[in-house]
Chain A
Amino acid sequence: MGDVALNAKAKRIRSDIIKMLYLCQSGHPGGSLSLVEILMALYYRTIKVDPRNPKWEDRDRVVLSKGHGCPALYAILADQGFFPRADLWRLRQIDSHLQGHPDMVKTPGIDVNTGSLGQGASIAVGLALAAKYKKAAYRVYAVVGDGEAQEGMIWEAAMAASHYRLDNLTVLMDHNGLQIDGSNDAVMGLGDIVAKYKAFGFECFTVDGHDINQIVAALETPVSGKPKFICCETLKGKGVSFMEDVAGWHGKPMNAEEYAKAMAEVGGSDDV
């Protein structure tokens, strides 16, 4: 897919995110919107998956460790044909397969349950280590939040990934700088996050997290004998002016006026 088509796709995914979050009047807009290009770089340009065979043994695995960003993932999975797009409009509602946080049992295309922060990165380590043991060629991608790096488990996982030389594992951080209670710096500063991952033995990259080509370039750079860390510099709420870089839009429902404005900004056309 070329850049023009990808840009159009990104708009459509953002409008789907906004619509599904408006309809359920809950969920996490800020961290879903910041994540769009990271997941697009994976799903449209990098990984091998088969929507007709979601459990395909040799597929690449994606672990959305920051599980609250799942509306972005759901919109992409629907676009790729894992399930009908109409399912999106029943996000978080009773008997929908689209749970508030990713559910591998209910939703085709979800590889791992996440939502409780920190755990996804460790599961990804298990997946990557199991792939090494099985001599399988597939790769494992863990997408973590920046606030999530305050969880001690993230560093347990980092230590293990390096110890076991998991060069089939890539950790991508959606580094938007904000979390529920405010900025990372105000709540619990991460310091130099890239230096930290480097100290843990990762090959590190920093990219513009809204530039798919930059993300893909980092994803494609070969690394041997160590895991990879890609710090994706992003804007929370990206694409909706009144949400951008505002911590308050971490988990706030939109009213009708805000919905209309947000949809207009991302070029969405669907009425509710």
Chain B
Amino acid sequence: MSDAKSLRVAYGEALVELGAGNDRIVVLDADLAHATMTSMFEAKYPDRFFNFGLAEANMMCAAAGFAHSGLVPFASTFALFGTGRAYEQIRNSIAYVNANVKFGLSHSGLSVGEDGGSHQSIEDIALMRVVPNMTIFVPCDPIETKKAVFAAAAIDGPVYIRVARPVVETLTAEDTPFIPGKANVMREGSDVCIMATGLMVKDALKAAETLAGEGIHAAVVNFHTIKPFDGGRVLEMAEKCGAIVSVEEHSVIGGLGSAVAEVLAGHSSAKFKRLGIQDKFGVSGKPADLFEKYGLTAGHIAAACKSLIG
């Protein structure tokens, strides 16, 4: 499809659009506005943009203060620093009181690439998933990123939007439903179901295409929401396909794969394989090389599917 765009640019554009005519929307950043693309909002609405400098913990608590004042703050930095360094601030000052704070955190996952393991958040979904009151969106393309921003603003409570850095082609349409907590079936199939989130949705679709050429009908489900989790869809696809492969640009511990496993446990005997980062840290490299190294390409997904049904 067309309209390839970096998800962070889609995030910046969505904030600008959301902010038009709604002066309750304020944006906070921690000296990464030109990386998270909140700089687009700053340029348009300078009086509603607040830079907190390199102080993520302070920014998250200040965001709670904005929310307690009736405003709707979107706080941005890199995923690692937002969910990691400011974890307990999010936990105690935001989620514990269901403060209406949104954090769109960019540069998530392996796809940060060259910056290396120190900057590649492979545990951010896990960290946020265990926090009560939290909603987690992981958009797969620019269109979903925009929808996630608007959906987040409509929710009364904390929302984490995981924004990947790379340029991504559009995989969904403007009229594709984006209902928080409802996974989207992107491709029907009955032999195996690939459950993907974020950047891996594209590769899941590619893998399904490859498998189709070999006579294997793979379904693809896009989990744009990790929490609340669409367990009903997992069980439905388990029943229908009998085999599931989960794939995420995140540790296999605590993310999508874990969420699927928690649903399947005790309720399904479907075969199941988790693709993701296998409990190790990332390294520097081009994103494509990293996805190859860590086993997260369409080829790896297709092979995993075949290993389950072979």
- Residues of A at the B interface (CB closer than 8 Å) are 57, 103-105, 111-113, 115-116, 118-120, 122-131, 133-134, 136, 152-153, 156-157, 159-160, 163-164
Q: Give the one of A103, A153, A156 with max B CB within 10 A.
A: A156
Interface size in chain B (residues, C-beta < 8 A): 29
Q: Could you say which of B50, B53, B58, B96 contacts A153, with CB atoms under 8 Å apart?
A: B58
Contact B61 A134 (CB under 8 A): no
B71 within 8 A of partner (CB): yes
**In the bound complex, CA of A146 to CA of B122 (Å):** 37
Contact B64 A160 (CB under 8 A): no
B63 within 8 A of partner (CB): yes
In the assembled complex, which residues on chain A have CB atoms less than 8 Å from the CB atom of B88?
Answer: 116
Contact A122 B92 (CB under 8 A): no
**In the bound complex, CA of A125 to CA of B96 (Å):** 19
**In the bound complex, CA of A74 to CA of B60 (Å):** 27
Nearest Cβ on chain A to B168's Cβ, whole angstroms: 33
Q: Could you say which of A112, A136, A160, A163 contacts B68, with CB atoms under 8 Å apart?
A: A112
- Residues of B at the A interface (CB closer than 8 Å) are 26, 47-48, 50, 52-53, 55, 57-58, 60-71, 73, 88-89, 92-93, 96-98
Contact A125 B65 (CB under 8 A): yes
Q: Could you say which of B26, B58, B73, B97 contacts A125, with CB atoms under 8 Å apart?
A: B58
Nearest Cβ on chain A to B158's Cβ, whole angstroms: 13
Nearest Cβ on chain A to B63's Cβ, whole angstroms: 6
In the assembled complex, which residues on chain B have CB atoms less than 8 Å from the CB atom of A120?
Answer: 61
Q: Give the one of B48, B50, B61 with max A CB within 10 A.
A: B61
Q: Could you say which of A115, A128, A153, A163 contacts B61, with CB atoms under 8 Å apart?
A: A153
Instruction: Assess A119 versus B48: contact at CB under 8 Å? Given A126-B62, A156-B58.
Output: no
Nearest Cβ on chain A to B57's Cβ, whole angstroms: 5
Nearest Cβ on chain B to A172's Cβ, whole angstroms: 17
Instruction: Assess A119 versus B62: contact at CB under 8 Å? Given A105-B98, A112-B68, A127-B69.
Output: no
Q: Could you say which of B48, B58, B69 contacts A160, with CB atoms under 8 Å apart?
A: B58
In the assembled complex, which residues on chain B have CB atoms less than 8 Å from the CB atom of A122?
Answer: 57-58, 60-62, 65, 89, 93
In the assembled complex, which residues on chain B have CB atoms less than 8 Å from the CB atom of A126?
Answer: 61-69, 73
CB within 8 Å: A-B pair count:
100
In the assembled complex, which residues on chain B have CB atoms less than 8 Å from the CB atom of A133?
Answer: 26, 47-48, 71
A152, closest chain B residue (CB): B57
Nearest Cβ on chain B to A162's Cβ, whole angstroms: 12
Contact A160 B65 (CB under 8 A): no
In the assembled complex, which residues on chain A have CB atoms less than 8 Å from the CB atom of B52?
Answer: 156, 160
Q: Could you say which of B60, B69, B96, B98 contacts A134, with CB atoms under 8 Å apart?
A: B69
Q: Could you say which of A113, A115, A160 contacts B62, with CB atoms under 8 Å apart?
A: A160
Q: Give the one of A122, A133, A153, A160 with max B CB within 10 A.
A: A122
In the assembled complex, which residues on chain A have CB atoms less than 8 Å from the CB atom of B70?
Answer: 57, 130, 134
**In the bound complex, CA of A153 to CA of B69 (Å):** 21
Contact B62 A129 (CB under 8 A): yes
Q: Which 9 A-B pairs have the closest CB atoms?
A: A126-B65, A122-B61, A126-B62, A130-B69, A156-B58, A156-B55, A127-B65, A123-B65, A116-B92
B96, closest chain A residue (CB): A113
In the assembled complex, which residues on chain A have CB atoms less than 8 Å from the CB atom of B64?
Answer: 112, 123, 126
Q: Give the one of B47, B50, B67, B98 with max A CB within 10 A.
A: B50
In the assembled complex, which residues on chain B have CB atoms less than 8 Å from the CB atom of A156?
Answer: 52, 55, 57-58
**In the bound complex, CA of A38 to CA of B97 (Å):** 26
**In the bound complex, CA of A152 to CA of B47 (Å):** 28
**In the bound complex, CA of A112 to CA of B93 (Å):** 8
**In the bound complex, CA of A238 to CA of B220 (Å):** 66
Instruction: Assess A125 versus B71: contact at CB under 8 Å? Given A119-B93, A156-B57.
Output: no
**In the bound complex, CA of A181 to CA of B92 (Å):** 24
In the assembled complex, which residues on chain B have CB atoms less than 8 Å from the CB atom of A57?
Answer: 70
Contact A129 B65 (CB under 8 A): yes
Nearest Cβ on chain A to B50's Cβ, whole angstroms: 7
A140, closest chain B residue (CB): B65
Q: Could you say which of B55, B61, B71 contacts A130, with CB atoms under 8 Å apart?
A: B71
Apart from the given pairs A113-B97, A124-B65, A125-B62, 11 other A-B contacts in the complex at a CB distance below 8 Å: A105-B98, A111-B68, A113-B96, A123-B93, A126-B63, A128-B65, A153-B58, A153-B89, A156-B52, A159-B55, A160-B55
Nearest Cβ on chain A to B109's Cβ, whole angstroms: 27
**In the bound complex, CA of A127 to CA of B60 (Å):** 12
Q: Could you say which of A112, A115, A119, A129 contacts B66, with CB atoms under 8 Å apart?
A: A129
In the assembled complex, which residues on chain A have CB atoms less than 8 Å from the CB atom of B53?
Answer: 159-160, 163
Q: Could you say which of A113, A134, A163, A164 contacts B93, with CB atoms under 8 Å apart?
A: A113
**In the bound complex, CA of A32 to CA of B67 (Å):** 28
Contact A129 B50 (CB under 8 A): yes
In the assembled complex, which residues on chain A have CB atoms less than 8 Å from the CB atom of B47?
Answer: 133
Nearest Cβ on chain B to A112's Cβ, whole angstroms: 6
B67, closest chain A residue (CB): A126
**In the bound complex, CA of A134 to CA of B47 (Å):** 11
